[in-house]
Amino acid sequence: MENHVVIIGSGPAGLTAALYAGRSKLNPLLVRGELPGGLLATTDSVENFPGFPEEVGGVELALRMEEQAARFGARFLETMITRVDLSRQPFRLTTSEGEQIAAQTLIIAIGASPRKLGIPGEEEFTNRGVHYCANCDGIAFEGKRLVAIGGGNSALDEGLFLTRYVSELVLVHRRNELRADPILQERALANPKMRFLFNTTVRSIEGDEVVTGVRLMDLHSGQEEFLPTDGVFIYIGHEPNTALFRGQLDLDPAGYIRADISTRTSVPGVFAAGDVADPRYRQAITAAGDGCRAAMEAARFLADLPAKALV
């Protein structure tokens, strides 16, 4: 059986696409993937999603969005997509169990993953003091001292955002100078709450129930020291989850899917929504907006197909 709309990814972009496709009577199939709820489900508390003045847990928000989409006929499949063929329509997708899924339109909403340092304590303390999004989690550290890691635009932009809350932000960078845009550097260096440690790396993140500090190493002297901190925010870049689509879709140099303002990709009938095509904002609300546009564009694409193709 062919599916009118198949959605890969179950974060805000994918779930919103499922909602809108369902309301269009397209009976969409959403493949949940490796992390149901996407990165949203890894956030303990969401305070910046409209409609939730008392905040909401990331898992709870994802479940509510899923229930809403299911109400309008969205179907959900617990599996991973391991191979895609976009060379012909219907598109062919292969699951981790080897099953084939046919799709007349495809919405890709599989997001991007924060690059990890790969050091001791990082995985252990994720969401217990180790975070990757200032807008999502910064307010929880009001009046605290934080460590931020990185030297590019994301590190400084998010670091400046964190200074709204914290008493001190120590930015650790392995090079001897920042790589961010000059205007961001000027703002950061002039901010009295920001302190910089250059030519320094974080060797480990330490704590008990939550983060209590980081172990640093000076790259010139090799000397190590322990720096107490209440949390660590890591900004060494994101990696879009686009390996499946290399050679089949037009990607930018960083690997993000190139999509226009309507979420259309280089292959007609394939749409990209959320962080998989957005290296700048990476917010639940912007991803949801993309999901809405993708589903509406998929409906318009299907409406233009010959009637016999919609059996």
- Residue 46: give its domain's CATH number: 3.50.50.60
Same domain, 56 and 93: yes
Same domain, 100 and 249: yes
Number of residues that this document lists for the chain: 311
* pLDDT on residue 308: 45
Task: Give the Cα separation of 304 and 272 in Å (integer).
Answer: 19
Same domain, 123 and 190: yes
Of 208, 234, 260, which marks where a domain is finished?
234
Same domain, 157 and 74: no
Count Cβ atoms within 10 A of the Cβ of residue 96 and give its class: 0-12 exposed, 13-18 middle, 19 or more buried: exposed
* pLDDT on residue 213: 98
Task: Give the Cα separation of 244 and 6 in Å (integer).
Answer: 15
Of 137, 275, 278, 290, the catalytic one is 137
SS3 label, residue 306: coil
232: CB partners within 8 A, 6+ apart = 125, 129, 130, 131, 146, 147, 148, 149, 202, 205, 211, 214
* pLDDT on residue 307: 58
* pLDDT on residue 31: 97
Same domain, 227 and 135: yes
Q: Under a CB-based contact definition with an 8 Å cutoff, are residues 230 and 214 in contact?
A: no
Of 187, 217, 234, which marks where a domain is finished?
234
Of 136, 275, 278, 292, the catalytic one is 136
Catalytic-residue membership of 181: no
* pLDDT on residue 126: 94
90: preceding bond cis by omega (within 30 degrees):
yes
Same domain, 71 and 138: no
The C-alpha torsion from 205 through 208 and 210 to 211, rounded to 10°, is -30
Catalytic-residue membership of 292: no
Of 133, 230, 275, 290, the catalytic one is 133
Domain with 149, as residue range(s), is 116-234
**What are the residue ranges in the chain where pLDDT is below 70?**
1, 42-44, 307-311
Catalytic-residue membership of 250: no
* pLDDT on residue 277: 97
